[in-house]
Amino acid sequence: MKIILSGYLVRYPVGGHSWSPLQYLIGLRRLGHEVTYVEEYAWPSSCYDPERRLMTSDPGYGLAFLDRLRRAHAPDVSWCYVAESGTVHGLSREALVRRCAASDLYLNLGNVNHLPELEECRRRVLIDTDPVLTQFGAHGLGKPLSWYQARFTFGENIGTPRSPVPTNGLTWHPTRQPVILDLWAGAGPPGRKYTTIGKWDLTDRDLEYRGDTYRASKRREWIRIADLPARTGATFEMAVDVESVTGDLELVTGHGWRVADPAAISHDPWRYRDYLRGSRGEFTVAKDMNIRLRSGWLGDRSPCYLAAGRPVVVQDTGFGDVLPLGPGLHTFRDVEEAAEAIRIIEADYERASAHATAVARECFAAERVLTDLLRVAGAS
């Protein structure tokens, strides 16, 4: 098939984020499809420059980043980026119109691009990677959700009796992050640290629903399990911007957590991959809104840990309703359950690692995830 794929690799060229669209791109090419990657600037000064750690209108860093990814993993993929200045990189806009008109499918990761040329695509599909916020329209980006002929979400309980997230009459199909297993395998012996990477505080996207406030920030969830290192004796490191809230860095380090610089680890995809593969496992919390609304969310990072044979422990969002929990994949609701999950892993690490690898193979392998997505999307 001829597939148009859009995301934001140029605008946000950091290692952790890039693996999500990159694995879609590689996976679709390995299935034999012709893929054209499309992106635009979207709003003024929307390009992040990780060297200078600032937002800018200059896409130079991101364009070089995209070129490195393509050369390494998908050299035959055509692409087009429309900059804030109006400059078009890669395919011309005339060529993009022809590609869109001839396409069998348009896949939009996150509803972040809305170039007028995309109106020419006959079959339009949204992949929601940030559930709950998307269903509530909290992003304020892109096209109306009804613009798409099919909608998929990482919140696998949404649209079922297991989650009260409103669908507003729209059908949401469950999907997962596709993982290119061979890019994560062969990690070697596990490290000593349970790790994760993320954002500490996010207060501007809280939701009010049926008289309750549902929070987008993970800060309170981390504080609730702050004494986990003392309870387990294990080593935990969060690559999270804890210092963004005054006093919080002292709080978490005082409880025995190690804190690393997320920007340094995510500087490029390969450094990020080495960090995950060099870990003992992943330990992380979730957004309050995904926890209490039982969305079934599991993000794009945890499947990569699993594919590397690293056990994963994630705060319970309901994803255990659809994924096979066991020695290598755990949920927790409080610090006692979190500590018990770590004890189970450490009691037989080889068994936990084998289970993690099996879950990645059976549930997240790109060929499985993408074949199912294309079938349900109605692509011919």
DSSP letters spanning 173-238 = EE----B-GGGT----S--SEEEEEE-S---TT-EEETTEEE----HHHHHHTTTHHHHH--EEEE
- Mean predicted confidence (pLDDT) in 109-136: 93
Q: Residue 55: beta bridge partners?
A: 48
Q: Whose CA is closest to 371, among 18, 379, 34, 358?
A: 379
Mean pLDDT on 56-83: 95
Residue of 309, 65, 283 lying closest to 184 (CA atoms): 309
- pLDDT tens across 7-30, in order? 989 999 998 899 999 999 999 999
Which pLDDT value is given to residue 205? 85
Is the pLDDT confidence value at 156 over 80? yes
Computed over its alpha carbons, how large is the radius of gyration of the chain?
A: 20
Which residue ranges does the chain devote to CATH 3.40.50.2000? 181-363
Instruction: Identify any residues that bridge with 126 across adjacent strands, giving them in sequence order.
Output: 108, 151
Strand 78-82 relative to strand 34-40: parallel, antiparallel, unpaired?
parallel
The CATH number assigned to the domain with range 181-363 reads: 3.40.50.2000
Using a 10 angstrom Cβ sphere, with 0-12 exposed, 13-18 middle and 19 or more buried, the burial of residue 177 is buried
- Give the span between the Cα atoms of 380 and 376, in whole angstroms: 10
User: 199-245 pLDDT, tens per residue?
Assistant: 999 877 899 999 999 999 999 999 999 999 999 999 999 999 999 99
pLDDT of residue 380: 55
Would you state the structure tokens that stand for residue 79, as one six-digit string? 């692409």
Q: Whole-angstrom Cα distance, residue 330 to residue 307? A: 15
Report d(CA 123, CA 125) in Å as an integer. Answer: 7
Q: Name the strand (E) or helix (H) holding 367.
A: helix 366-377
CATH fold of 2-178+366-377 reads Rossmann fold (3.40.50)
340-371 confidence digits (pLDDT tens):
999 999 999 999 999 999 999 999 999 999 99
Distance CA(270)–CA(247), nearest Å, equals 32
**The predicted structure's pLDDT at residue 138:** 64
Number of residues in the chain: 380
Q: What's the pLDDT score for residue 132?
A: 96
Structure tokens at 6: 């859009």
pLDDT band at 249 (very low <50, low <70, confident <90, very high): very high
By the 8 A CB rule, do 47 and 61 touch? yes
* Percent of the chain surpassing pLDDT 90: 91
Average of per-residue pLDDT across 281-303:
98
